[in-house]
Amino acid sequence: MACTVKRAFRYRFYPTGEQAAELLRTFGCVRLVYNRALEERTRAWYGEQRRVTYAESSAALTAWKKTGELAFLNEVSSVPLQQALRHLQTAFTNFFAGRARYPRFKSRKKSRQSAEYTRSAFKCRDGELTLAKMPGALDIVWSRPLPAGSEPSTVTVSRDAAGRWFVSILCEDRVTGPAPAERAVGVDAGLTSLVTLSTGEKVANPRYERRDRRRLARAQKDLARKVKGSANRDKARRKVARIHARIADRRRDHLHKLSTRLVHENQVVVIEDLGVRNMVKNRSLARAISDVAWRELRSMLECKAGWYGRELVVIDRWFPSSKLCSECGTVAGELPLGAREWRCRCGAVHDRDVNAARNLLAAGLAVSACGDGVRPQRESSRTGRSSVKQETQRSTAGLLRL
Q: Give the mean pLDDT of the chain.
A: 86
Q: pLDDT at position 372, please? A: 57
Contact 352, 322 (CB under 8 A): yes
Q: Which is more confidently placed, 312 or 112?
A: 312
Q: Is 353 a catalytic residue?
A: yes
Q: pLDDT at position 1, please? A: 60
Q: Which of 149, 165, 148 lies closest to 157, judged by CA?
A: 165
Catalytic option among 116, 209, 272, 391? 272
Contact 242, 252 (CB under 8 A): no
Environment class of 42 (CB within 10 Å of its CB; exposed 0-12, middle 13-18, buried 19+): middle
CA angle (135, 137, 140) in 5-degree steps: 135
What mean pLDDT do residues 216-223 have?
96
Distance in angstroms (rounded) separating the CA atoms of residues 44 and 329: 57
Contact 197, 187 (CB under 8 A): yes
Taking only the tens place, the pLDDT of each residue in 25-70 is: 999 999 999 999 999 999 998 888 888 999 999 999 999 999 999 9
Task: Please name the residue ranges forming H helices in 159-293.
Answer: 208-211, 213-225, 231-265, 276-279, 286-292
Q: Is 188 a catalytic residue?
A: yes
Q: Which amino acid is at 247?
A: I
Catalytic option among 116, 316, 353, 391? 353
Q: Is the pLDDT of residue 388 over 60?
A: no
Residue 250 φ then ψ, to 5°: -65, -40
Q: Is 273 a catalytic residue?
A: no
What mean pLDDT do residues 168-172 have?
93
Q: pLDDT at position 371, please? A: 63
Catalytic option among 22, 116, 188, 291? 188
Q: Which of 55, 41, 159 lies closest to 91, judged by CA?
A: 41
Taking only the tens place, the pLDDT of each residue in 265-321 is: 999 999 998 888 888 888 888 999 899 999 999 999 999 998 888 899 998 888 888
Residue spans per domain, the chain: 2-176, 177-402
pTM over 0.85: no
Give CA separation, 271 vs 74, 277, 385, in Å: 50, 17, 28
Taking only the tens place, the pLDDT of each residue in 133-167 is: 998 999 999 999 998 888 899 999 999 999 999 99
Q: pLDDT at position 98, please? A: 92
